[in-house]
Amino acid sequence: MTNLKSSLANDKIILVPANTKRFFVAKITPVNPSEGNRFSYTTTFNFGNAIQEDFDEDYLYALPFAKGKTHLIFQGYYGKFSHQKDAALDFDLKIGDPVYAAREGTVVLTEDSNHHGCPTISCAKFNNKVLIMHSDGTFADYAHLKYKGVAVKKGDEIKKGQLIGYSGNTGFSSGPHLHFGVFINRIDGSRTFIKTKFKTSQGEGILLEEGKTYTRND
């Protein structure tokens, strides 16, 4: 800025409420009204509350596959293949297996136009997925769905246990499976991942572990 001052500091993160048409961000005023002035600015945005820290730590998630089925966690939190920095889970679902919402929420993003998958990060752009926002501001990512394998649309209100799509092998994937992760979105595109507690046939409030199998019984 030249000969101007702003009510908003540089690099400040502003939370804009959902469905807002107009929202006050800053007031720019001249330092010396009798002199010329100019300014420039850049902005970055992302969905969700990028400054959020709190969330529902005790929420009990449902397993994201069919009732009565048992599946293996073949890559767990901070796994060696693709989860080194992610508290995410990979379930050994086959291509075409139904995927169910582990928690109720609102669909904020879907993608199922991709055919391709490979075991390198270069294929991450081909992930088919459903992204659901929860009431506490966290998001769940259901990824590697099959081509045309999404059963919901953006804006849908989803119930816990509702069918949302079908498992596949798209994107950054070494074989058919369902990738599931819960996170808080950050302004720079990074994600703060959250370990989630599940209800399984073995009990409630369980943190799922790599190499173990779990059964959904309700």
- Which is catalytic among the residues 83, 134, 144, 177? 177
Give the Cβ contact number of residue 94 at 10 Å.
15
Closest by CA position to 110, among listed 119, 120, 101, 121: 101
C-alpha angle with apex 207: 186 to 203, nearest 5 degrees? 140
Residues whose CB falls within 8 Å of the CB of residue 13, separated by 6 or more in sequence, listed in order: 50, 51, 187
Gyration radius of the chain's alpha carbons:
21
Contact 152, 112 (CB under 8 A): no
Amino acid at 34: S
Residue 177 annotated to the active site: yes
The torsion angle over the Cα atoms of residues 175, 77, 98 and 57, rounded to 10 degrees, is -170
Residue the block writes with tokens 């990512």: 141
Contact 170, 115 (CB under 8 A): yes
Is residue 142 packed enough to be buried (19+ CB in 10 Å), middle (13-18) or exposed (0-12)? buried
Kindly list the catalytic residues: 177
